[in-house]
Amino acid sequence: MEKTENQHKSDIIEVCRRVYAKGWVAANDGNVSIKVSPNTIICTPTGMSKGYITAEQLIKVDMTGNRIEGELEPSSEVKMHIDVYKNKPGVNAVVHAHPPFATGYAVAGIPLEECVIPEIIVSLGSIPLAKYGTPSTMEIPENIRPYLKEYNVFLLQNHGALSIGEDVFRAYYRMESLELFAKINFIARLLGNVNVLGEEEVKRIISIRENFGLSNLNYPGCRIDSKFVKSADSNGKDRAAPSSNNPVVQESFKEDLAKERVFISDNQKHIELSKEKLVELITAIVSNIINKVKS
């Protein structure tokens, strides 16, 4: 049974409140949309907090971004939403937010591609890094477009994250999975090691996807060193990370391959630390901050 426009608006409001409550957006950040017909989308307006948005404040626009209904202006990022709808059939919802851990990886220029957590391997595969584009311009949609065929979640360099789905709650839950994965990955890096699953185990996990009804979906695979493991019905050869042309990402891969030492420099002093010592130093700093807060 198809939902009414009022039901779609209620869904957008619910997702906006969840995103705000989780701290994935601040002030007027973020935007959410649903495609309600082949030529019409309902989206959040610009300049409004997602935590307190109402149905009356939502905007209806056509597939060129022109406002059809509503008093406020549509989100300045509506171009990004429309481009997704035009270039990936079956997508009916888009969520854009700035979840802290995922956005931290986006700012660092590091895609989340390793085969690490079974649930993420099954549901998302890898998460690519779309190179930086100026907000509110066509640069961001153009930089996302090469990844649309296979991926449903994207890191936007120096910006945030984007998730898409068949409905707005699937798009939201993908964002939720992304942020949890980013947080776990960050903690593992802080502890000194990201234990990547072996190729045979990853293939077994991928085969389980059929039990979740996901065998008919495009699957981007995930990375074991420089190799991508994909489902048996995925075409294409093993490939390097999709963001590997980015020099920042190339450096992060080099750092992963040379885990023994870390070099810190401020142009005057050069310090060489082992990874173990660096983790000890960071742990001590964090403990000191926590103790000060408690006191």
* Beta strand pairing call for 129-130 and 153-156: parallel
Nearest to 119 by CA among 184, 166, 164, 169: 184
First to last CA, the chain: 56
- The runs of H, that is alpha helices, within 22-77 are none
User: Is 5 marked active-site?
Assistant: no
User: Between vectors from CA 178 to CA 172 and to CA 181, what angle results, nearest 5°?
Assistant: 145
| Beta-bridge mates of residue 261 | 274
The DSSP call for residue 87 is H
Q: What whole-number distance in Å separates Cα of residue 145 and Cα of residue 234? A: 19
Classify 243 as helix, strand or coil: coil
Which of 2, 5, 69, 77 is the catalytic position? 77
Exposed / middle / buried, residue 154 (Cβ in 10 Å: 0-12, 13-18, 19+): buried
Instruction: Report the catalytic residues.
Output: 77
